Amino acid sequence: MDKSDKRIIAAVAVGAVCLAIGYFKRGGSKKERIRRMFKKRDYRGILSNYSGEEITGALYGKWGENKEEAFRAILFITMLDVKREAAESRKYNLEAEMKLEEYVEEECGKMVEKYSSRVSDVKTRDFYDLLGCDSESFGSALKLGMDECIKGNLKWAKNIFGSCRSSSNRQLVDLVAVYHGISTCLVTESETHPFLYSKVLDKLGRIEEQKEFLVKIGNGDLTPVERVILMHHKLINLIKLAVGGSESASVELVEYSDSVFSRIKLGEFSSLKNENCFINLICVLMEHSLLNEDDQRISALTGLIDPSIDVRYALITYQAVEYSERRSGIRSPKKMDILTGALKLDKMCYKLHILLGNETKETVHYERALDASTTRSERSNAMRILLVTRIQNEILGLSSSERQ
């Protein structure tokens, strides 16, 4: 190798070193800079300095087992203001859904079941309505197990039931366990607690069987309260069958809802107007009327509903106002007043906190919904909305005042 060759090699080496130094001074490659800014949550900086294509190329599929960052990245990509082919947009949206479910599952898994001392009073009343008796009718251990179920403390309840289950209460304990999701075993028909059995059939998806069982209940001697509970169960059963595609159930639903509405209008159940079962019945009728856009019935039922006396009446009134908004195209200022008023009635109402979160986009309401949740479904749903809203708010850089 002569001197000229050595000089060329030396020059190339020096040039490479200079390039490397310049590379590191500039902060690495463009993709690395974007990822570094993303980890620092510098969304504005990323959007100000890089194109949608550059951002997508840097962030897509780069996060391994980090479920939070993987979802945060794909959500950020779906929110970019870039033109995409429909198929490409669908790909990113579907992946965002998949990554979200993985993230939700991970976060819910971290929520080791903790003891909850409070629960919505509505959940307690609904459960004991199904039993057809009050809580004092049971031994202390059995009652404690039931109350823990209502609060969502299922591991505690399962242990309690294991210690107090006997030949005399075996069927009831098994029904309660299935109703609250502790067990999925099939249970035998109950004559002692028929409405709890009806609800178990509903939860197990045995809707046709439930319909036949409700006919059997209706042929027996029922108190006025039991008659109202039966109507409530039958309305929900027919709605589910109709939604499932049963034409005969659709016809029967129209006839049955008309019959129930007529009996209510005639004042047949006026003595029960403040009873838990009657409130449930009115709310189901109103919800069905809203779905069918039956303005005449909506107006008549509105006259029977006082949102200041029960959280369920407040929530169904909120739905009626939403319906009115959709029909008129005019936003109503009443909605927030209804929801804030409902908080005075029941601070542990799961659905109320979800609606407050939807109205304000403030994550604190979804956190409260998470605290109020007593089932796996409620917990997952609240966590899902909480995570999406929290990250969206971060990306958009929204303050509390801007979310209104």
Q: Name which residue leads in pLDDT, 20 or 59.
A: 59
What pLDDT score does 185 carry? 79
Q: Which of 370, 365, 390 lies closest to 382, judged by CA?
A: 370
What pLDDT score does 264 carry? 95
Q: Name which residue leads in pLDDT, 401 or 146.
A: 146
Tell me: the pLDDT tens digits for 201-225?
999 999 999 999 999 999 999 999 9
Q: Name which residue leads in pLDDT, 185 or 96.
A: 96
CB-CB contact of 260 with 277 (8 Å): no
pLDDT band at 362 (very low <50, low <70, confident <90, very high): very high
What pLDDT score does 113 carry? 63
What pLDDT score does 25 carry? 44
Full-model pTM: 0.86
Query: Which positions ≥6 away from 140 have C-beta within 8 Å?
Result: none
pLDDT band at 82 (very low <50, low <70, confident <90, very high): confident
What pLDDT score does 184 carry? 78
What pLDDT score does 216 carry? 96
272 exposure class (CB count in 10 Å sphere: 0-12, 13-18, 19+): middle
What pLDDT score does 373 carry? 94
The C-alpha torsion from 291 through 297 and 298 to 303, rounded to 10°, is -150
Q: What is the percent of the chain where pLDDT is above 90?
A: 77
| Average pLDDT of the chain to the nearest whole number | 89
Q: Which of 390, 383, 312 lies closest to 351, judged by CA?
A: 312
DSSP three-state, residue 22: helix
| pLDDT above 60: residue 8 | no
| pLDDT above 60: residue 226 | yes
What pLDDT score does 114 carry? 63
Q: What is the percent of the chain where pLDDT is above 70?
A: 90
What pLDDT score does 401 carry? 43
> Which stretches within 244-375 are classed as H helix?
247-265, 276-291, 295-302, 311-328, 334-343, 350-360, 363-372
| pLDDT above 80: residue 13 | no
Tell me: the pLDDT tens digits for 258-286?
999 999 999 999 999 999 999 999 999 99
Longest Cα–Cα distance of the chain, Å, equals: 113
What residues does each domain of the chain span? Answer: 28-110, 115-204, 355-404
Tell me: the pLDDT tens digits for 149-192?
999 999 999 999 999 888 888 889 999 999 999 987 777 888 88
| pLDDT above 80: residue 287 | yes
What pLDDT score does 112 carry? 65
